[in-house]
Amino acid sequence: MKKTTASTDARVKIIPLGGLEQIGMNMTAFEYEDSIIVVDCGLSFPTDDMLGIDLVLPDITYLKQNIDKVKGFFITHGHEDHIGALPYVLKEVNVPVYATKLTLGIIENKLKEHNMMKQVKRKVIKYGQSVNLGCFRVEFIRTNHSIVDAASLAIFTPAGVIVHTGDFKIDYTPIFGDSADLQRFGELGKKGVLALLCDSTNAIRAGFTSSERTVGHTFDNIFAEHSNSRIIVATFASNVDRVQQIINSACKYGRKVVVEGRSMVNIIGTAMELGYINIPEGTLIDIEQLKNYPDEKTVLITTGSQGESMAALSRMASSIHRKVSIKPGDTVILSSTPIPGNEKAVARIINELSMQGANVIFQDTHVSGHACQEEIKLMYSLVRPKYSVPLHGEFRHRKAQAGIAESLGIPKDNIFMLNSGDVLEMGMEGAAVVDQVTHGAVLVDGLGVGDVGNIVLRDRQNLAQDGIIIVVLTLEKYSNQLLAGPDIVSRGFVYVRESENLMEEAHAVVETATYDCLNKGVTDWGKIKNVIRDSLGDFLWKRMKRSPMILPIIMEVDL
């Protein structure tokens, strides 16, 4: 049996390890006999209740348990939710990484930061090329997205061909390179595709996502209209095409360009080096040179379009940027729409910029990178898969894609709304979820990976809500005699100076509770702590309707 020719009784497993319960953390394993390949390896950002957490990684227990089978990572594009977990995961599962040139360039920036360039094997794959790995052959197909060099994957398995779109849109007039390779999708579909794993992010939006090029026309109009003021454009660092268009407008209107913000400088540097952006000689200037040009002859391209408080734009707006301050008359273009959850931060930055006298423009200055309903229909109509597995998006988005798939004639039983960890086994004869593997979220806090979990988070939530009250007392080891305390210390509870009465009453409550225990001859410290916790807790709830964390500590002195 030739490996990549479908056999009627062969069955391949599709195992999403992240990305289905939340935006981000995209990672899907494909398994056939002794081979596993993994598509994408993304992180997600903490939700509001993950206090103090910096990043969230997918749990890769299943890969570690099957480490001998794992052959490699195939990465569809260079966004954090598809590559961000790589440095962490490769430390535990060190297998080769395959990606297009810019994607790999961005990955290499990360590997350098983690000092991992030497030990990680990696290979640039061109559109149309394939990689043979274990029982699989993986072909990279050209597609469009809000970052250049995005790829869909055709995964040839003994059970049939699986098409994984990655994040995609169809842009007939892209800025760099060509439109998505619709012909290849059609060709694959004509020959027969087992399953389509398709991006659902915009599946609740009607119509067709506009071309990136439409934003360029908006920029041209804004540049023409605001020819007397400095222009500052904030956008996503990774949107190289967007930056290209800002540079095009700048050149057209004779402005010098400054690129500012660490991640923006990094990615544009990589894009220039690899030939993904075209900047005419003499256009870019250093931020230090800005003062040598009149305002109306300059453009700043910067990070911070999501209102991130530490990004360059925010620092400019609050005048804590080392080099640039917003001044009255500046034109500031926010070239992005708020990612859900960032709306208030974006509103805040617009207010701050407006207060500094800037003219803030945020309409028609962005297009999405994800396929809307008509593009999803187009993809299904080209690929015509036997099975549909909506990927990438919250439940409601994936459900919407399931509805689209059904409307296009895919039987309901052939559409799989998976959960992370599900093992979907499929072949020409049928498909079903046959198992569940370990999956979940690993929290990164500072340098600690996985040492903060639900109990620690619940403590942080309690502490955040009403603070903490610590009750300390020192007992003699043998006699249980009270040598010192009980003392009360609080943090994050009330202004102690303005609540002297309250704290005195609380102290009396704790003293009574302590003496009650000691006089009754209670020697079990756990019990003493419980009595203190309960009586102080009751008192504070009745008196204040608050529940601070109460932490009794007993010290023991051996006289």
Catalytic residues, by residue number, are: 199, 370
The one among 239, 466, 517, 539 contacting a copy of itself by CB under 8 A: 466
Is 366 annotated as belonging to a binding site?
yes
Q: Identify the H or E element spanning 211.
A: none
- Distance, CA of 158 to CA of 156 (rounded, Å): 7
Residue span 341-370 as binding mask against a copy of itself, x where in contact by CB under 8 A, dash where not: x-xx--x--xx--xx----x----------
Based on the shown chain and the rule CB under 8 A, indicate whether residue 281 belongs to the binding site for a copy of itself: no
The CA-based angle 312-362-338, given to 5 degrees, is: 70
91 binds a copy of itself (CB under 8 A): no
The verdict on whether residue 81 carries a ligand-binding annotation is yes
The one segment of 60-68, 313-321, 323-331, 472-480 that binds a copy of itself by CB under 8 A: 472-480
The response to whether 397 counts as a known ligand-binding position is no
Residue 82 and residue 26 in contact, taking contact as beta carbons nearer than 8 Å: yes
Q: Does 543 bind a copy of itself (CB under 8 A)?
A: yes
φ, ψ of residue 154 to 5 degrees: the values are -105, 120
Give 79-133 as a DSSP string: -HHHHTTHHHHHTTS---EEE-HHHHHHHHHHHHHTT-TTT--EEE--TT-EEEE
93 is in an annotated binding site: no
- Residue 327 makes contact with a copy of itself by CB under 8 A: no
Nearer to a copy of itself, 103 or 356 (CB): 356
Closest CB 413 distance from a copy of itself, rounded Å:
16
369 marked as binding residue: yes
Going from the C-alpha of 421 to that of each of 293, 300, 432, 444, the distances in angstroms are 57, 45, 14, 21
Q: Does 495 bind a copy of itself (CB under 8 A)?
A: yes
**412 lies in the binding site for a copy of itself (CB under 8 A):** no
Cis-peptide, bond into residue 486, ω within 30° of zero? yes
Residues between 387 and 406 that touch a copy of itself (CB under 8 A):
394-396, 399
Minimum distance between the CB of residue 206 and a copy of itself, rounded to whole angstroms?
10
Contact predicate 432/441, CB 8 Å: no
Count of residues in contact with a copy of itself, rule CB under 8 A: 65
Residue 102 or 443 having the CB closest to a copy of itself:
443
Pick the piece of the chain touching a copy of itself (CB under 8 A) from 27-35, 192-200, 280-288, 335-343.
Answer: 335-343
Q: How far is the CB of 264 from a copy of itself (least distance, A)?
A: 24
Distance spanning both ends of the chain, measured CA to CA: 82
* 325 labeled binding residue: no
Q: SS3 for 399?
A: helix
Taking the least distance from each CB to a copy of itself, the nearer of 1 and 455 is 455
β 97-99/441-445 pair status? unpaired
Nearer to a copy of itself, 31 or 466 (CB): 466
- Minimum Å gap between C-beta 346 and a copy of itself is 9
Task: List the one residue from 287, 433, 468, 518 that touches a copy of itself (CB under 8 A).
Answer: 468
310: contact with a copy of itself by CB under 8 A:
no
Residue 452, marked binder = no
Residues 443-462 within binding reach of a copy of itself (CB under 8 A): 445-448, 451-453, 455-457, 459-462
Q: Calculate the alpha carbon distances from 108 to 74, 88, 129, 306 in Å.
A: 14, 14, 21, 25
* Spatial distance between the Cα atoms of 219 and 250, rounded to a whole number of angstroms: 9
Between CA 303 and CA 405 the distance in angstroms is: 38
Q: Which amino acid is at 274?
A: L
- In the complex with a copy of itself, the residue whose CB is nearer, 196 or 554, is 554
Q: What is the three-class DSSP state of 193?
A: strand
340 lies in the site for a copy of itself, by CB under 8 A: yes
Instruction: Examine residue 545 and tell whether it contacts a copy of itself (CB under 8 A).
Output: yes
Q: Indicate whether 484 belongs to the interface with a copy of itself (CB under 8 A).
A: yes
DSSP-derived letter for residue 173 is S
Angle between helices 373-383 and 182-191 (to 10 degrees): 40
The answer on whether 370 is annotated among ligand-binding residues is yes
Q: Is 54 annotated as a binding residue?
A: yes
Distance CA 230, CA 282 (A): 18
In the set 246, 485, 510, 531, which binds a copy of itself (CB under 8 A)? 485
DSSP letter string, 451-504? ---HHHHHHHHHHHHH-EEEEEEEEETTT--EEEEEEEEEESS--TGGGHHHHH
Residue of 52, 128, 207, 280 interacting with a copy of itself (CB under 8 A): 52
Output b/e per residue, 29-51; b: 16+ Cβ within 10 A: bbbbeebbbbbbbbbbbbeeebb
CB contact set of 515 (below 8 Å; sequence gap of 6+)? 482
How many angstroms separate the CA atoms of 105 and 472, rounded?
56
* 557 near a copy of itself (CB under 8 A): yes
Measure the CA–CA gap between 307 and 309, rounded to whole angstroms.
6
Does the protein bind a copy of itself through residue 546 (CB under 8 A)?
Answer: yes
Locate 59 and state its tokens: 């749990």
Residue 287 interacts with a copy of itself (CB under 8 A): yes or no? no
Of the residues 329, 467, 480, 516, which one makes contact with a copy of itself according to CB under 8 A: 467
- Which of 219, 293, 215 lies closest to 256, judged by CA? 293
Residues of the binding site for substrate:
237-239, 366-370
Residues of the binding site for Zn(2+):
77, 79, 81-82, 145, 167, 392
Residues of the binding site:
52, 54, 77, 79, 81-82, 145, 167, 237-239, 366-370, 392, 445
Q: Which residues form the interface with a copy of itself (CB under 8 A)?
A: 47-48, 51-52, 340-341, 343-344, 347, 350-351, 354-355, 360, 394-396, 399, 445-448, 451-453, 455-457, 459-468, 470, 472-474, 483-485, 487, 489, 491-495, 498-499, 543-546, 549, 551, 553, 555-557, 559
Residues of the binding site for Ca(2+):
52, 54, 445
